[in-house]
């Protein structure tokens, strides 16, 4: 398992007394013909745990409907009848190797999820709260990606402040990020009509993906899905601690093209990484590193885009007119790579 300084999750279940929920339920089932079917059982405690198990079940169900070969099949969630305050999530068991998944098959599967998912209302969000580790995501539906990303950032900044304490410098940088950088990097996506809401796993770090020993294929789990910009999914891949890096990002974009404006791609990736670093700062109260990383990335982006969206709009009037006429988001391409 990863060291706490590397992990993306941070959920440590509270101690409990009484019956062991793993001894009450046998996750192995003998079939009529004598075969053995094994299941994976996850449990959590109290009301937050109940919401977490519900969110994970709905997340995995949404993924399974689009890419059933990429996730364990979810079967049920609920509460123990005879053990008060204990809740569960049940899915198929897979024998897995804990190592980085093969680059091409993994990135093709991630892209296939994004390309073949269709938002039920063409909006950004999800019908219920999902949890990234112990932290609840604000999945309230929004009509634009810029609005939805800001909303999620507000939630995560509040959670981070509650853990790490107030910071005048962070507050000052956040105000500039919201005023200049977020509109500058995200509004062109809408203006150029270069994106659509796609279903994302929501927490794709190396601890949530393995290789299935039976199929040799990559498999992912522990999802906290939402309908989002596809590039937001790979925001975690920027940080060295998540072990993906440029090799995986480049491979992913062989299957799902970079959104226009393409020249903003690396800066958008940096912006999205802030959101994940805020999560890590919230999850690990003893480490000041993640807040320092957040502020350093904010300072870089603020310095690069002093004129905000208005400056970009002024410099790209012809491009805006052209794309308003003919650009549409990418369509489902199955498993075929984008031909450059």
Mean residue pLDDT across the chain: 88
Structure confidence at residue 99 as a pLDDT band (50, 70, 90): confident
Give pLDDT, residue 215.
94
Q: What CA–CA distances, in Å, run from 206 to 6, 9, 32, 88, 214?
A: 10, 11, 38, 24, 20
As a whole number, mean pLDDT of residues 155-159 equals 98
Give the pLDDT score at 18: 45
Encode pLDDT of 51-85 as tens digits: 999 999 999 999 999 999 999 999 999 999 989 99
Q: What is the pLDDT of residues 277-314, one digit of tens each?
A: 999 999 999 999 999 999 999 999 999 999 999 999 99
* pLDDT tens readout for residues 191-247: 999 999 999 999 999 999 999 999 999 999 999 999 999 999 999 999 878 889 999
Q: How far apart are CA 166 and CA 301, in angstroms?
A: 22
Range picked from 9-13, 152-156, 330-334 for highest mean pLDDT: 152-156
Query: Tell me, what's the pLDDT at 3?
Result: 36
pLDDT band at 28 (very low <50, low <70, confident <90, very high): low
Separation CA 304–CA 222 (nearest Å) = 35
Q: What are phi and psi of 234, to 5 degrees?
A: -95, 15
**What gap in Å lies between CA 42 and CA 33, rounded to an integer?**
27
Give the contacts of 116 (CB within 8 A, at least 6 positions apart): 66, 67, 332, 334
């Amino acid at each position: 398992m990863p060291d706490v300084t590397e992990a993306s999750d941070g959920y440590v279940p509270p101690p409990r007394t009484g019956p062991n929920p793993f001894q009450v339920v046998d996750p192995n089932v003998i079939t009529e013909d004598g075969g053995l079917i094994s299941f994976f059982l996850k449990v959590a405690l109290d009301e937050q745990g109940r919401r977490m198990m519900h969110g994970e079940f709905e997340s995995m169900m949404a993924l399974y409907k689009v890419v059933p070969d990429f996730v364990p099949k979810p079967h049920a969630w609920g509460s123990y009848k005879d053990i008060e305050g204990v809740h569960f999530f049940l899915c198929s068991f897979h024998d897995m190797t804990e190592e980085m998944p093969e680059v091409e098959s993994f990135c093709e599967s991630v892209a296939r999820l994004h390309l073949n998912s269709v938002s039920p209302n063409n909006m950004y969000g999800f019908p219920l709260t999902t949890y990234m580790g112990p932290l609840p995501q604000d999945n309230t539906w929004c009509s634009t990606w810029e609005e939805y990303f800001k909303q999620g950032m507000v939630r995560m900044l509040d959670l981070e402040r509650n853990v790490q304490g107030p910071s005048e410098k962070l507050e000052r940088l956040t105000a500039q990020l919201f005023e200049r950088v977020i509109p500058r990097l995200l509004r062109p996506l809408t203006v150029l009509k270069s994106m659509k809401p796609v279903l994302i796993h929501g927490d794709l770090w190396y601890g949530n993906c393995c290789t299935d020993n039976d199929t040799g294929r990559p498999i992912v789990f522990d999802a906290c899905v939402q309908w989002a910009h596809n590039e937001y999914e790979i925001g975690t891949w920027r940080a060295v601690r998540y072990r993906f890096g440029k090799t995986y990002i480049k491979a992913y974009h062989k299957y799902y093209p970079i959104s226009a404006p393409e020249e903003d791609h690396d800066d958008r990736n940096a912006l999205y990484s802030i959101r994940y670093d805020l999560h890590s700062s919230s999850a690990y109260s003893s480490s000041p590193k993640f807040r320092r990383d957040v502020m350093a990335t904010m300072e870089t982006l603020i310095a690069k885009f002093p004129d905000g969206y208005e400056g970009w709009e002024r410099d790209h009037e012809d491009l805006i007119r052209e794309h308003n006429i003919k650009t549409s988001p990418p369509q489902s391409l199955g498993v075929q790579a984008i031909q450059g």
